Amino acid sequence: MKTNSPIQEIVFNHKNSVEYSISIKRDDLIDEFVSGNKLYKLRLNIESALKNGDETIITFGGAYSNHIAATAAFAQKKGIKTIGIIRGEAHTVLNPTLRFARQCGMELKYVSRAEYRLKESIEFQLKFLSSYKNAFVIPEGGANYLGIEGCKSILDERTAKFDYVFVAMGTGTTYAGLVKAAYEGQSIIGLPIHKHDKLLDDILKIDPKFGAIHHHRHQIVSGYHFGGYAKYTDELLDFIRSFHEQTTIKLDPIYTGKAFFGMFDLLEKKQIPANANILFIHTGGLQGIEGFEIQHKLRLFDSN
């Protein structure tokens, strides 16, 4: 899969506000199923598994996880088996995400939410993972050192001219990779899509040397989670719909919609210089829209 996704300049305004010219790196166009930051986070992990001669990849996620869907698809392309440890009860009728993962050959194993919270413990490892030999474990969201290193490739010579690079933050893996690859004078702005406020600590657990390069120019700006992970408001959905109507670009309500809203709000509040050259990283996640619509009994876009 190639990663030379286009950089598209768009002009956007919301509710008759000032028009803003922003560039978007369309990593959502990399691949139909392994799009956005998922490819970058998974590539070095799967290459390492294959190099080690591992026969199976084990990973973790919720029932609507972009990471679960992408891992299943990428591993299938590479000819390696996958097992998904899914948080929550088994589904008699699979949602679109889990149905796709199973179609890609992923074996689904359900664990209670209480057990899932202990997934990094030795007890969990012994109970659920010890029976699988030659297995390569990828953490939830691809949040490991290989995931961070892979995300460095999101930036290239075409992105060197931008003053600010904005990205949604889930585990912080993508943000960490961007900071490590940032060009001279460039600021990386991460916008968390949940209430968890220890993302920098999480990154430092994976890469203790990260603190030395995470100086004041790079920022994690909280406050745009709309109630928490996978929560939303009518204001957020209206914003996503307005953006799509003006640009034909889809944002999802879990990650990119929140992050773009946050970036736009910072511009509106003049916390970003008006003449700044801005790049937004579209991290994909669009596979989850169908499941979101089914779960909440609404239509995000007129047609999908």
pLDDT tens column, 46-56: 999 999 999 99
**Which string of b and e fits 7-41 if b means at least 16 CB within 10 Å?**
beeeebebeeeeebebbbbbbbebbebbbbbbbbb
Prediction pTM value? 0.95
- Fold of the domain built from segment(s) 37-142: Rossmann fold (3.40.50)
Mean pLDDT over 160-180 rounds to 97
Separation of CA 167 from chain center: 9
pLDDT at residue 14, as a whole number: 80
CA separation, residue 282 to residues 62, 147, 175, 251, 257 (Å): 21, 17, 13, 8, 10
C-alpha torsion sign, points 51, 56, 62, 65: positive
Return residue ranges of the chain for CATH 3.40.50.1100. Answer: 7-31+154-296, 37-142
Query: Is the CATH number 3.40.50.1100 carried by domain 7-31+154-296?
Result: yes
pLDDT at residue 302, as a whole number: 80
Q: How are strands ordered across the β-sheet holding 107-111? A: 107-111, 81-87, 56-61, 135-138
Q: How are strands ordered across the β-sheet holding 278-281? A: 7-12, 20-25, 278-281, 164-169, 187-192, 219-220
pLDDT at residue 44, as a whole number: 98
Residue 38 has pLDDT above 90, yes or no: yes
